[in-house]
Structure 1
């Protein structure tokens, strides 16, 4: 009888211990989930993790500059933390020592069919100063475009590429080399994860440049330079509202001028610096 009681007590103890352990495991999981929110300005690492303070045992590949509610979703300027967002790379694209790349084909500015185009920067103007504005006001025009990843894939599809790109793409190098970022000695990551930022994304990088540069100082990041290409195309219209089909005017894309805090639309045959971004 005593032996049977001891067995029963032992069985009960085992059940209680299992329940406690399970509870601890759940607490750990919940704690991990709660602590997994990313903050603006966090360091983003090659293993897909992040931290507010630099972890010297991990490889930093960029800085978080925007937060979204879902991966690849619209960046919400009012959010300072969340589970998804955008990362800007530590350095500009560098091709054999050259950081100034064409947007379109070398020496040309041919249009990309089906690529979303914007005739104005903010719904009214052909140029735009970011310095004194709040990103939450970016509701219309090119500055409301957050789809850099989709734009980049559209550009690559047009030049006949799929998942794999040649090491020396000659046409549409800005988008192509962003897609390749991570497949070179000077970058960390996986090919295809990075892309040419849309106008809204590039504008937000400028608006939060001081935050980003403070983090760059800790991880050997590089200043952006005077300009940054975006993947958002410019759509020229005449005063009558008709599309202008002249090649010089139609073959333009929006660019962020870091020197002036302005966004405008140079032709694609003018080389500019390129900084890749990624979404997580």
Structure 2
């Protein structure tokens, strides 16, 4: 077998013997390179990066395994004699390795320098709905060839982002905004907060609601695009008026309350006054000063309304009473008599108390023949008679001088207390007595009646001032009695 050998004289051994010379010469065998290969035949490498190629020379025992490295285009990539490739510029070239006349080549593709990291600022963002905010993204390294950033959102219903990094808040919530460059990305956590409520206007601001009736209030939150969870409705006094969570106010008792609508720490209010519905003749009058057409089983009936409004011939001033104003809203008769016994009206001493009507010219008006209409000032007369009784140590039930009729009238308060908002019980004037008897059938709705008999009024007889007027329940006849006679009953009334 032929050997690839080359013989050289490389060693001469000489032996010199002083007595004679002897010499010897031997040839060395040289093993040549048969192949060279690289661990990679093609590589992609980022600009600015390095990579080491590994070369293998065959046979392993080749005499000279020296490798010479070379780059076809050093402007794109260079290579050291250790096989280290350095990517210089974007492009394609080849790197070769030679040994013993053999050559191996690797294709070098220099690609752009990638972004390693992307930093988004700010990394956390709190923004109001419908507002915008600018995000910035910084690529590292600064000389990366990848420059294009793609912006995206994790939830476009909460916030969107344009390709210049502008975030637009859409609705309340949280999402993440991403900035991506190649394989690198950064992010910003976004919280979209609701637009805060600045004020609440409740309409109407002032209103009246009928007792037992309802009114619907509305609450307008400003600004119009404010975000809020719910509006909470409350009342300052549930005993006067209640409010449902839809803003419906219901009157429970006469009085005034403040209804408040609240969301968060913002509130608005409305002043609601609960008033009686317009009274009607025949309405039932209750112990709390209210009235209704049909019986309210939750309330105590103490009277029946027999006249609505203050009669034009009522000269009484109700300012100092529970009514609290000069004029009243009407009159109600009691369900029972003040006493079951006849009693004196007052002393028969000829004293003129002034319990009769006076016209605009100061003249006494005939209340005997015109008793139905001209004399409605029972509250005024009751105060006059009460003062007269106090001068005599009354009012008291037995002696005529202590005005027993007024005593029993006022004492009725202990049996059937009148509402604080009323005038209190008083002895009606002749026209009031006449009208209540005319309407006595109205008492049936309350389960009451007016016994057939004669009934006192608080009116003195304008023809004979030491006498008083009374009326017969069955005949509607007006008569004049001596003050000191026991011939009449008493049916109190009150104004409201």
Range into which the TM-score falls when normalised by the shorter chain: 0.5 to 0.7
Equivalent in 187, 192, 195 of residue 9 of structure 1: 195
State the partner residue of 1:259: 474
Q: Deviations 1:181-225 (Å, cap 9, x if unpaired)?
A: 1213xx333697111001111111122222x233243xxx23243
Q: Contact 2:355–2:458 (CA<8 Å) still a contact in 1?
A: no
Structure having the higher helix fraction is 1
Q: Which ranges in structure 2 are unaligned for 5 or more consecutive residues?
A: 1-124, 130-191, 203-217, 221-232, 235-245, 252-270, 317-327, 359-363
CA RMSD of aligned residues (A): 3.9
Match of residue 406, structure 2, among 175, 191, 202: 175
Q: Name which of 432, 446, 449 aligns with 1:222.
A: 449
Bigger-Rg structure (1/2): 2
Q: Distance in 2 between matches of 1:151 and 1:254?
A: 13
Report how many residues are paired: 231
Q: What SS does structure 1 have at the residue aligned with 2:219?
A: helix
Distance in 2 between residues matched to 1:16 and 1:128, nearest whole Å: 57
Q: Deviations over 1:3-54 (max 9, x none)?
A: 3336562416x73687256995789777954x62111111111111111111
Choose which of 275, 279, 282 in structure 2 pairs with 1:41.
Answer: 282
Q: Distance in 1 between matches of 2:472 and 2:310?
A: 29
Contact 1:91 1:224 (8 Å CA) reproduced: no
Structure 1 CA distance for aligned equivalents of residues 292 and 455 of structure 2 = 27
Q: 2:345 aligns with which of 88, 103, 116?
A: 103
Q: Does 1:93 align with 2:338?
A: yes
Distance 1:168 1:7, change over 3 A: farther
1:278 alignment partner, SS class: strand
**Aligned residue number for residue 234 of structure 1:** 461
Q: 1:149 aligns with which of 355, 360, 379?
A: 379
Report the Cα distance in structure 2 between the residues aligned to 1:194 and 1:148, rounded to whole angstroms.
10
CA distance change for structure 1 residues 40 and 273 in 2, over 3 Å: closer, same or farther? same
TM-score by length of 2: 0.40
Give unmatched runs, 5+ long, in structure 1: 76-82, 131-137, 139-143, 237-248
Q: Is the 8 A contact 2:356 2:375 kept in 1?
A: no
Indicate conservation of the 8 Å contact 2:357/2:367, yes or no: no
Structure number with the higher strand fraction is 2
Q: 1:87 to 1:169 in 2, by over 3 A?
A: farther
Are 2:443 and 1:201 aligned? no
Report the CA distance shift for 1:125/1:175 in structure 2 as closer, same or farther (over 3 A). Answer: closer
Once residues 460 and 371 of structure 2 are traced to their aligned partners in structure 1, the CA distance between those partners, rounded to angstroms, is: 18
Contact 1:128 1:263 in 2 (8 A): no
After TM superposition, give the deviation of residue 114 of structure 1 in Å: 4.0
Q: Within 2, Cα distance between the matches of 1:128 and 1:260?
A: 16
- Distance verdict in 2 for CA 1:156–1:49, change over 3 Å: same
CA distance, structure 2, for counterparts of residue 157 and residue 31 of structure 1 = 37
TM-score with structure 1 length normalisation?
0.67
Over 3 Å counting, the alpha-carbon distance change for 1:111 and 1:30 in structure 2 is farther
